[in-house]
Amino acid sequence: MNIYILGVLLSVVFYMLVGTYAGRRVKNVEDYYVCGRNAPTLLIAGTMFASMLSTNGFMGDTAFCYGGNMTTMILINTLCACGYIFGALFFGRYIRRARVRTMPTYFSYRFNSKRIRRFAGITTVVSLTAYLLSVIQGTGILMQTMTGLDRVTCLLIAWGCITAFTFYSGSRGVILTDTMMFIFFLGATVIAGPYVFNAAGGLGSLLDTLMQDPNTPRGLLEYHGNPGAGSVMDIMLYAITMGLVWMVAVGVSPWQAGRNLMAKNEHVIFRSGAISAILTVVFSIYLYLMAVSVIPLNPGMEQPERVLIWAAFEVMPKCVGVLMLTGIMTAGLSSASTFLSVVSFSLSSDVLNLDTRNETSHLRWTRGIVLGVGLFALVLAYLDLSSIRIITWFASTIIAASWGYVAFASVWSKRLTERGAYLAMVGGFCGYLFFKLLKELGVPHLVAFLDPFFIGLFLSVILGVLGSRGQTRTPEELAFLEKLHRIPAEEAQAKEYRKDRGYGWLMVGMGVLVSVFLLKYWAIPYNRAIGTELPSLLLSLVG
Q: Are residues 481 and 514 in the same domain?
A: no
Q: Is the pLDDT of residue 390 over 50?
A: no
* pTM of the predicted structure, to 2 decimals: 0.90
Concatenating the DSSP letter of every residue in 482-519 gives HHHTS--GGG--HHHHHHHHHHHHHHHHHHHHHHHHHI
Q: Are residues 450 and 318 in the same domain?
A: yes
- Residue 39, SS3 per DSSP: strand
Q: Are residues 465 and 507 in the same domain?
A: no
At 217, the amino acid letter reads P
Q: Are residues 107 and 206 in the same domain?
A: yes
Q: Are residues 23 and 59 in the same domain?
A: yes
Q: Are residues 43 and 136 in the same domain?
A: yes
Which residues lie across from 39 on neighbouring strands?
263
Here the contacts of 182-185 (C-beta below 8 Å, separation 24 or greater) are: 182/46, 182/47, 182/49, 182/50, 182/334, 183/46, 184/11, 184/326, 184/327, 184/330, 185/50, 185/53, 185/58, 185/327, 185/328, 185/330, 185/331
pLDDT, tens digit (0-9, with 9 covering 90-100), for 397-412: 788 889 899 999 999 9
Instruction: Give me the helices (H) in 294-417, please.
Output: 307-314, 318-346, 359-383, 388-395, 398-412
Q: Which residue has the higher pLDDT, 290 or 23?
A: 290
- In the listed set 474, 492, 510, which residue is the last one of a domain according to the structure? 492
d(CA 326, CA 332): 10
* Confidence band, pLDDT 50/70/90 cuts, at residue 449: low
Q: Are residues 112 and 146 in the same domain?
A: yes
Q: What DSSP state is assigned to residue 532?
A: -
Q: How many domains does the chain have?
A: 2
pLDDT for the residue numbered 395: 62
Q: CB within 8 A of 220, min separation 6: which ones? A: 68, 69, 70, 71, 210, 226, 292, 295
pLDDT, tens digit (0-9, with 9 covering 90-100), for 189-205: 999 999 999 999 998 89
**Structural domain containing residue 508:** 499-543
Concatenating the DSSP letter of every residue in 191-232 gives HHHHHHHHHTT-GGGHHHHHHH-TTSPTTTTSSS---TTS-H
d(CA 244, CA 20): 39
Q: Which residue has the higher pLDDT, 100 or 332?
A: 100
Q: Are residues 447 and 506 in the same domain?
A: no
Neighbours of 368 (CB within 10 A): 14
* Spatial contact of 200 and 293, defined as CB atoms under 8 Å apart: yes
Q: Are residues 304 and 401 in the same domain?
A: yes
* Spatial contact of 235 and 228, defined as CB atoms under 8 Å apart: yes
* Spatial contact of 132 and 113, defined as CB atoms under 8 Å apart: no
CATH classification at residue 47: 1.20.1730.10
Q: Are residues 505 and 395 in the same domain?
A: no
d(CA 277, CA 85): 7
Q: Are residues 401 and 535 in the same domain?
A: no
Q: Are residues 101 and 232 in the same domain?
A: yes
pLDDT, tens digit (0-9, with 9 covering 90-100), for 343-371: 888 888 888 876 556 667 777 888 888 88
d(CA 70, CA 522): 12
pLDDT for the residue numbered 89: 93
- In the listed set 492, 512, 531, which residue is the last one of a domain according to the structure? 492
Of 124-128, 215-219, 289-293, 511-515, which gets the smallest average pLDDT? 124-128
Q: What DSSP state is assigned to residue 451?
A: S
Q: Is the pLDDT of residue 394 over 70?
A: no
* Confidence band, pLDDT 50/70/90 cuts, at residue 446: low
